[in-house]
Structure 1
Amino acid sequence: MGSGIAHIAARAGHPVFLYDSRSGAAADAVASQRASFATLAQKGKLDADTAHAASAALQAVDTLDDLAGAGLVIEAIIEDLTVKQELFRRLEAVTAPDCILASNTSSLSITAIASALDAPQRLAGLHFFNPAPLMALVEVVSGLATAPAVVDTLMATAQGWGKTPVRTGSTPGFIVNRVARPYYAEALRLLDEQVSDTATLDALYRDAGGFRMGPFELMDLIGHDVNFAVTSSVWRAFFHDPRFTPSLIQQELVAAGFLGRKSGRGFYDHRGGERPDVQVAPHCPAPDGIVLHGDHPATAALTARLQAHGVACQHQPADDDRLATVGSAVLYPTDGRSAAQRAASSGITDTAVLDLALDYQQASRLAMACAPHCTPAARHALTGLLQAAGIAVSWLVDSPALAVMRTVAMLANEAGDAVHHGVCSAAAADTAMRLGANYPCGPLAWADRIGVATVVQVLDHLAAYYGEDRYRLSPYLRSCLLSGRPCHA
């Protein structure tokens, strides 16, 4: 990470000194980055003069004393508070009083790190994402003692380096590592409750939710030791708040040494074995008598997709929020209740619920769940309707809010809570999750697209179903609903 940050600064025209306590490591990093600049120039991705200047700007040094003239020192060492504090004490003694000290920590408190200094106002967080030269986001983190001018300078510096900085307070996980927890936690709960398997859930998050990677394959990529440690750290830092409770499933993987790609095995076998099949409903013929209802985005998309495939359908009003009927079978969009709850409420035995999609017009796969007493004929009719629209259907065990909806609602809830507690602005939360976690949409903007009333309803239904504080509604979302203002503004 330190080498990547040096790459960014040198490419922006700054003289950069690299120091590492391990002999030869800094020199190796300089050589590696010079080779990287040369490769970029050869491929035409970097002007030759710029590549030469950036290479010349890099220099390895042997002692911390060699950093005495620096205007900014960025630390990127192990995530150990005591070790970081000791390093910054030494840097404070070596550098000029107006030198800014910055930590690339992803999880430790900037306030705690700075507390070891005589001038804690000099220190802030400058959290890059890996790989630093490619990832656009930088979290600029203020501790309690951090001088506003220091934060302003770091924001301007990051922008000058071609990055997109966001301001955040020094709270556990900052923005990205905090707001992202539900992406893993809700998927792990679905797996624990045997709602579906990892391959099918990953496919739904990608094909319906628009995420670049499903949560299980992403955890395998990150490493379960790292992901579990971050979740556990955030959970402890928030005094065991149930929103961040670690997963027993992931704990078992770590205990077994099944850490993901780096160990060859995690949720998936990465040793050359075949990936498990994604569960897809069997082919069902397009039913007769399809009736679509309302103005839900799924209704409009199904209408267009059915017409494109030459399948006839009608439109009729309805007294409830149903999407479609085929004979006695009724398809509802998920509102956070299970299909069983909806059937009990409506008295309609042949009830099914449909999961959220980022874009119903483009989604290639959707999840559906049926009430316990839904007849096979009704299940097949509704499945045939979706398949006739060119949508692969994955049947899930009936569960409240299904997969994509419950996860997006929880992501929006966590982002809203960060805004509510002054950690960041709504715009910063959305920017951070798009650029730092590669989400297809900022969680708060996504809540506005779904409708904040729907998101609130989903969360309230989840809370009622489970009876857990994990699903408590953020006052921010409640306030947005009551005031009528958008979440992401």
Structure 2
Amino acid sequence: MRALAKGSVVAVIGGGAMGRGIAQVAASSGHEVRIFDTRPDAAADAVDAIGKVFATLVGKGRMDAAQAGPARERLRAVASLAELKDAALAVEAIVENLEAKRRLFAELEGIVDAGCILATNTSSISVTAIAAGLRHPERLVGMHFFNPVPLMALVEVVSGLATDREVAATVYATAQDWGKDPVHAKSSPGFIVNRVARPFYAEALRLLQENAADAPTLDAVMRDCGGFRMGPFELMDLIGHDVNFSVTQSVHAAYFGDQRFTPSVLQQEMVNAGFLGRKSGRGFYRYGEDAPQAVAQTEPHAVRPHTVGISVAREAGPSVLAPMEARLLAAGFTVTHREPLQGAEMHEAPAFHTNGAAIFLTDGRSATERAAANDHPNTVVYDLLFDHAKATRIALARADQCGEEAYQAAVGLFQAAGFAVTRLDDIPGMAVMRTVAMLANEAADVVHQGVCSAAAVDIAMRKGVNYPRGPLAWADAIGLHQVVTVLDKLALAYGEDRYRVSPLLRRKLAANPNGARFHA
């Protein structure tokens, strides 16, 4: 299917931030753009604002003046919907209210030609519900942009039950022509991004509520260990807790109270207090000239241990410790490999050993539980790292039974390898590992339920919310067996359906226990 022809008319209804961004991109891509808004002067203000953006881009050398002038001339404010009659595509970017959107499209349907595509920029309302009642619901599709539209690459092309496949294909091709990275999705609560992203916030809020660490420390772990551009508390403060909490409530209600999407009491308290984040001057952080600087917890210097060993199980495949072993070797350690363990000894593997401490990558259990199960009190666990070679921080948790000397040996080991060491309280699954496992699990369920493809969900999460890696690609990297093990251990620890494993994850693992993957 071809994209809309250059020069064809794109109507944008709504002159707010999203409407302006959509209009800017469409005009820059060669379309005649008509902007309508019911608020007096809003459409004209939008045209003026976009013109200033073009001028700024020219001044910074990011847009050619020969392109900016014609693009500005292609923008026009209109005073009535009737002036949109020649539109080939009409994109709605008004208030997130189902009835308001239905009324608008019902009116537009009587104005535009039969071939005009109707698109909604809704981020959460059912596309099927918006189209219901139209004479031709098949020509309505979701075209969900992300803010700021000119900078964010993702467009979710969302098909309702009635949406014609060719309509969705045309919008997809048009988004590509506009320089975007579109993905197809089926209309379902949260679509792709707003659904799959829920655990990023939910697990962080639970960790904070359970006193795993404070917000600055957890943010630092997610950034410096997990590779995320922003920590979850920084991001919630930026989004606004009223907005973030509302989206979680909406998804939770739409899935009839599924525990996986349960809103946080802690975030509800933030909203009740008016601590909405940056826009109110206070959220998890304080903002303003006199705001204190947030500092993450970092362990003081510990002595570098002289020796480090590594144990693996005889029946195991490639060790999950291999990337960390490479980091230790690069730091000048001689890593002694113990004889492969078998039988009753296998609970000791895979692990690093130094000065009596057994150091494991978290498998979803607390260090305390693992120490009891292994009958090894000096147990320390470490959190998942996105890039072992480049990570600047590592998070550790010690078993309640662990002696101070053994723990300090673990701290010294990782400090000598170039890490700032952060201690988390002994919470099951730690921070990065449990979050990534839950993101991968939700992504798997999205694919399992036919919302989108595995490739689409990874593109959506990288391009829509700037994750360092798509959740399913991440699951492939750490191993589907590891993801399922972590989820099973979390479910056992909490006794909640929240951590149930996606049937698609179990199916892939059952089909190929040693090499299950989402991507070839």
TM-score by length of 2: 0.92
Residue 367 of structure 1, aligned match among 370, 374, 395: 395
Correspondence for 1:54:
71
Correspondence for 1:486:
517
Say whether the 8 Å CA contact 1:338–1:401 is kept in structure 2. Answer: yes
Residue 384 of structure 2, aligned match among 352, 356, 362: 356
Write the distance in 2 (CA, Å) between the matches of 1:362 and 1:290: 21
Say whether the 8 Å CA contact 2:251–2:261 is kept in structure 1. Answer: yes
Correspondence for 1:285:
303
Correspondence for 1:199:
216
1:41-80 aligned at under 5 Å gives the runs: 41-80=58-97
1:133-212 aligned at under 5 Å gives the runs: 133-212=150-229
Correspondence for 1:316:
338
2:408 pairs with 1:380? yes
Compared with structure 1, are the counterparts of its residues 458 and 303 closer, same or farther at alpha carbon in structure 2 (3 Å cutoff)?
closer
Q: Secondary structure at the match of 1:45?
A: coil
Write the distance in 1 (CA, Å) between the matches of 2:327 and 2:159: 49
Write the distance in 2 (CA, Å) between the matches of 1:298 and 1:412: 18
Write the distance in 2 (CA, Å) between the matches of 1:346 and 1:327: 17
Say whether the 8 Å CA contact 1:293–1:299 is kept in structure 2. Answer: no
Residue 502 of structure 2, aligned match among 464, 474, 485: 474
Per the TM alignment, residue 430 of structure 1 is displaced from its structure 2 partner at its CA by 0.3
Per the TM alignment, residue 374 of structure 1 is displaced from its structure 2 partner at its CA by 0.5
Correspondence for 2:9:
none
Correspondence for 1:234:
251
AA of the residue aligned to 2:384: L
Q: Secondary structure at the match of 1:94?
A: coil
1:311-460 aligned at under 5 Å gives the runs: 311-319=333-341, 320=346, 321-460=349-488
CA offsets 1:272-315 (integer angstroms, 9 cap, x no match): 31233211112111012222344877744444444444444433
AA of the residue aligned to 1:315: H
1:54-133 aligned at under 5 Å gives the runs: 54-133=71-150
Correspondence for 2:283:
266
Write the distance in 1 (CA, Å) between the matches of 2:319 and 2:282: 40
CA offsets 1:312-356 (integer angstroms, 9 cap, x no match): 443324524333111321001111111111111111010111110
CA offsets 1:246-282 (integer angstroms, 9 cap, x no match): 0011101111111000000000001231233211112
Say whether the 8 Å CA contact 1:68–1:95 is kept in structure 2. Answer: yes
Per the TM alignment, residue 36 of structure 1 is displaced from its structure 2 partner at its CA by 1.2
Compared with structure 1, are the counterparts of its residues 281 and 296 closer, same or farther at alpha carbon in structure 2 (3 Å cutoff)?
farther
AA of the residue aligned to 2:125: L
Moved more, 36-45 or 24-33: 36-45
Say whether the 8 Å CA contact 1:290–1:324 is kept in structure 2. Answer: yes
Per the TM alignment, residue 400 of structure 1 is displaced from its structure 2 partner at its CA by 1.0
AA of the residue aligned to 1:16: V
Moved more, 280-289 or 226-235: 280-289
Q: Secondary structure at the match of 1:203?
A: helix
Say whether the 8 Å CA contact 1:298–1:360 is kept in structure 2. Answer: no
- Identity among equivalent pairs (%): 56
Write the distance in 2 (CA, Å) between the matches of 1:79 and 1:384: 53
CA offsets 1:13-32 (integer angstroms, 9 cap, x no match): 00000000001011011011
Write the distance in 2 (CA, Å) between the matches of 1:256 and 1:152: 45
CA offsets 1:426-447 (integer angstroms, 9 cap, x no match): 0000000000010000000000
Write the distance in 1 (CA, Å) between the matches of 2:253 and 2:324: 45
Per the TM alignment, residue 116 of structure 1 is displaced from its structure 2 partner at its CA by 2.6
Per the TM alignment, residue 362 of structure 1 is displaced from its structure 2 partner at its CA by 1.3
Q: Secondary structure at the match of 2:364?
A: coil
* Count of aligned residue pairs for this structure pair: 489
AA of the residue aligned to 1:261: R
AA of the residue aligned to 1:162: G
Backbone CA RMSD of aligned residues: 1.4
Say whether the 8 Å CA contact 1:302–1:389 is kept in structure 2. Answer: no
Compared with structure 1, are the counterparts of its residues 296 and 221 closer, same or farther at alpha carbon in structure 2 (3 Å cutoff)?
farther
Correspondence for 2:8:
none
Moved more, 393-402 or 200-209: 393-402
Say whether the 8 Å CA contact 1:296–1:323 is kept in structure 2. Answer: no
Per the TM alignment, residue 228 of structure 1 is displaced from its structure 2 partner at its CA by 0.3
Q: Secondary structure at the match of 2:110?
A: helix
Moved more, 303-312 or 91-100: 303-312
Q: Secondary structure at the match of 2:353?
A: strand
AA of the residue aligned to 2:517: P
Say whether the 8 Å CA contact 2:488–2:499 is kept in structure 1. Answer: yes
Structure 1: 4+ residue segments shifted above 6 A: 295-298
AA of the residue aligned to 1:370: R
Write the distance in 1 (CA, Å) between the matches of 2:187 and 2:331: 53
* Structure 2 runs not aligned, ≥5 long: 1-17
Say whether the 8 Å CA contact 1:135–1:435 is kept in structure 2. Answer: yes
Q: Secondary structure at the match of 1:368?
A: strand
Correspondence for 2:15:
none
Say whether the 8 Å CA contact 2:321–2:361 is kept in structure 1. Answer: no
AA of the residue aligned to 2:518: C
Write the distance in 2 (CA, Å) between the matches of 1:93 and 1:297: 64
AA of the residue aligned to 2:404: P
Per the TM alignment, residue 113 of structure 1 is displaced from its structure 2 partner at its CA by 0.4
Write the distance in 1 (CA, Å) between the matches of 2:207 and 2:27: 46
Q: Secondary structure at the match of 1:362?
A: coil
Write the distance in 2 (CA, Å) between the matches of 1:367 and 1:231: 28
Q: Secondary structure at the match of 2:174?
A: helix
Correspondence for 2:12:
none
Write the distance in 2 (CA, Å) between the matches of 1:37 and 1:297: 53
AA of the residue aligned to 1:98: G
Say whether the 8 Å CA contact 2:218–2:431 is kept in structure 1. Answer: yes
Correspondence for 1:35:
52
Say whether the 8 Å CA contact 2:321–2:350 is kept in structure 1. Answer: no
CA offsets 1:398-440 (integer angstroms, 9 cap, x no match): 1111100000000000000000000000000000000001000
Compared with structure 1, are the counterparts of its residues 385 and 166 closer, same or farther at alpha carbon in structure 2 (3 Å cutoff)?
same
Compared with structure 1, are the counterparts of its residues 399 and 296 closer, same or farther at alpha carbon in structure 2 (3 Å cutoff)?
farther
Moved more, 309-318 or 219-228: 309-318
